[in-house]
Amino acid sequence: MAITIRIFKNADDAGIYVASIAEMVIRQQQHPVLGLATGSTPIPFYKALVNLYDCGLDLSHVTTVNLDEYVGLSGDHPQSYRYFMQEQLFSKTNLHQQNTHVPNGVAEDLDQECHRYDQILQKHTIDFQILGIGLNGHIGFNEPSDTLLAKTHVVHLKEATVKSNARFFESIDQVPNQAITMGVQAILQAKKIVLMAFGEEKASIIEQVILGDVSTNIPASILQLHQDIHFVLDIASASKLLANEKAKKTLGLKVR
């Protein structure tokens, strides 16, 4: 097993493909654990998974652990990641609420909350991890830095991340500048990982992540070290890879 790259015509087709991988994991395991992401990228995947549920896929035995949550937003805040998950997936399926885990962004003691989350992660090794990617290469909210942290931690979001996420808020001042994020250990311990990226603006970071060196300054590049990593792209996010004849050949990329 190594890197697998799939390039779809559009994000909806990609979402259906990733949901069918999730279905396989969910049906194979007695107690499947899905690692989940928020943001625009995984929305087609959640739509497709809800569709599969509507067609008979049982999720009652599934545990979910989310990558991150904003500090200062409670689960009933419309921009919180707990709220996003409720809207996109949890409330639309038979997932049991008590089996869904998202860090608590309003915990009184944030260090304690990180520790509590690590204990959950220790108990539930992730079978299938879904990732998006920031324009700066972050995964979860593991931002570019000289070092990456293994454990769940509180992170100060980079200016670029706050700017990019402002599109979900009424104004940029409302975007929290801190978050709790899973560290890279739990992500890399996932048995299977799918990183999805859609749109032209992700083309450059995708090229660097797949073809560049492994570097903490591009956190997603550490995924090159994982033994079962899938990059699920659309033509726009794959455009720089597809324009590179050498990469096309070595990676065996084909789009018909």
Which residue out of 99, 136, 217, 244 is catalytically annotated?
136
Q: In the window 61-120, what residues touch ligand F6R (CB under 6 A)?
A: 67-68
Strands across the sheet with 3-8, in order?
3-8, 229-234, 192-197, 128-131, 33-36, 63-66, 100-101
Of the two residues 138 and 192, which places its CB atom closer to ligand F6R in the complex?
A: 138
Of the two residues 43 and 60, which places its CB atom closer to ligand F6R in the complex?
A: 43
User: Which helix H or strand E contains 68, and what residues bound it?
Assistant: strand 68-70
Q: In the window 17-56, what residues touch ligand F6R (CB under 6 A)?
A: 37-41
Sign of CA dihedral 14, 202, 42, 28: positive
Q: Is 101 considered catalytic here?
A: no
CA distance 128 to 125: 9
Q: Is 108 considered catalytic here?
A: no
130 binds ligand F6R (CB under 6 A): no
Radius of gyration of the chain (CA): 17
Of the two residues 32 and 140, which places its CB atom closer to ligand F6R in the complex?
A: 140
Shortest spacing between CB 189 and ligand F6R, in angstroms: 17
CA distance 50 to 249: 36
Task: Out of 138, 153, 192, 240, point to the residue binding ligand F6R (CB under 6 A).
Answer: 138
CA distance 142 to 132: 12
# chain residues binding ligand F6R, by CB under 6 A: 13
234 binds ligand F6R (CB under 6 A): no
Backbone angles phi, psi at 100, to 5 degrees: -105, 125
Going by C-beta distance under 8 Å and a sequence separation of 6 or more, which residues neighbour residue 150?
183, 184, 185
Of the two residues 54 and 172, which places its CB atom closer to ligand F6R in the complex?
A: 172
210 binds ligand F6R (CB under 6 A): no
Cβ atoms of 141 and 157 within 8 Å: the answer is: yes
The stretch near ligand F6R (CB under 6 A) out of 7-15, 107-115, 126-134, 240-248 is: 126-134
Binding site for ligand F6R (CB under 6 A): 37-41, 67-68, 132-134, 138-140
Residues noted as catalytic: 68, 136, 138, 143
